Amino acid sequence: MKEDNKDKTWKDKTGRKYQSYGAEQRLEQNLHEQQEKEADENSIAASREPNPSSPRYEVEGQESVNPESGLETEVDQEEEIEEGEFDLEAQIEAFRLQIEEEPDNCVHHYNLGEALAELDQTDEAKAEFDRALELDQDEAFSSIIHFSLGGLYHHQLISGIQGTVVRSSVGLHSQHKPGAQIVQVNNDDYEIPLREFKEAIKTLDRLQADEEIVDHVKDNAPRQIADIYYKWASDLIDKSRQIEVYGDEIKDVKESVQYLKKTLELSPNHSQAQLMLKYARKMLQEGWSIYDECGFVAKEIQGTG
> How many Å from the N-terminal Cα to the C-terminal Cα in the chain?
66
- Could you say which residues of the chain have pLDDT below 50? 1-27, 37-75, 77, 80-81, 83-85, 165-174
| Predicted pLDDT of residue 40 | 47
- 2-65+75-302 has CATH 1.25.40.10 classification: yes
Residue range 154-165, pLDDT digits in tens? 998 888 655 554
Q: 297 forms bridges with which residues in the sheet?
A: 291
* List of residues 6+ apart from 67 with CB closer than 8 A: 19, 77, 80, 81
Q: Domain locations in the chain?
A: 2-65+75-302
Evaluate whether 299 touches 243 at the Cβ level (below 8 Å): yes
| Predicted pLDDT of residue 83 | 45
Evaluate whether 145 touches 110 at the Cβ level (below 8 Å): yes
Backbone φ/ψ region at 281: left (φ over 0), alpha (ψ -120 to 50), beta? alpha
| Predicted pLDDT of residue 109 | 96
For residue 72, give the H/E element and its range: none
| Predicted pLDDT of residue 36 | 53
Inter-residue long-range contacts of 189-192, CB under 8 Å, 24+ positions, other chains counted: 189/153, 189/156, 189/157, 189/160, 189/162, 190/157, 190/228, 190/229, 190/231, 190/232, 192/153
| Predicted pLDDT of residue 160 | 67
Give how far Cα 119 sits from Cα of 84, 114, 122, 191, 207, Å.
12, 9, 8, 25, 26
| Predicted pLDDT of residue 22 | 44
Rounded CA-CA distance 9/224 in Å is 28
| Predicted pLDDT of residue 162 | 53
| Predicted pLDDT of residue 245 | 83
| Predicted pLDDT of residue 55 | 42
| Total count of residues recorded for the chain | 305
Residue closest to 153 by CA, chosen among 179, 130, 182: 130
Q: 299 forms bridges with which residues in the sheet?
A: 290
| Predicted pLDDT of residue 196 | 98
Please list, residue by residue across 257-276, b when 16 or more beta carbons sit within 10 angstroms of its beta carbon and e when fewer do: bebbebbbebbeebebbeeb
